């Protein structure tokens, strides 16, 4: 009886863990917490702004505030080309991410 309980508990814990890992790999949490903190991304981003200068938000034209680089595609992560990203303001970035992923 005790053995059965252990099996059930272990199965439950492993199942939860597997779901969490899976979500992290696909979802944006890994992207935000790992990719965007990586030396590669930091230097790409710095280089991008150096190459393109002081450009406005590509969605609304907002200028003069902090802009993010939005990934148009994630297929070239770790070796983006300049056209794989576009500058967007915080507000439009949130809207774009909402539309792209989530599905909620």
**Dihedrals φ, ψ of 14, to 5°?**
-65, -40
Q: Are 90 and 66 in contact (CB under 8 A)?
A: yes
| Tokens representing residue 41 in the block | 């991304």
Instruction: Report the residue number, 59 or 72, with the smaller CB distance to Zn ion.
Output: 59
Instruction: Report the residue number, 59 or 77, with the smaller CB distance to Zn ion.
Output: 59
Q: By CB under 5 A, name the one of 68, 80, 84, 92 that touches Zn ion.
A: 92
Total interface residues for Zn ion by CB under 5 A: 6
CA distance 89 to 94: 9
Measured in residues, the chain has a length of 104
Q: Which of residues 57-86 bind Zn ion (CB under 5 A)?
A: 57, 59-60, 62
Q: Which residues bind Zn ion (CB under 5 A)?
A: 57, 59-60, 62, 89, 92
């Amino acid at each position: 009886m005790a053995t059965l309980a252990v099996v059930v508990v272990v199965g439950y814990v492993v199942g939860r863990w597997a779901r969490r890992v899976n979500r992290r790999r696909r979802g944006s949490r890994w992207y935000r917490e790992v990719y965007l903190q990586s030396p590669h991304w930091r230097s790409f981003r710095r280089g991008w702004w150096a190459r393109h200068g002081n450009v406005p938000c590509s969605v609304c034209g907002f200028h003069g505030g902090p802009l993010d680089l939005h990934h148009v595609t994630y297929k070239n992560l770790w070796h983006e080309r300049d056209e794989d990203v576009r500058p967007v303001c915080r507000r439009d970035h949130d809207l774009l991410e909402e539309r792209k992923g989530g599905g909620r």
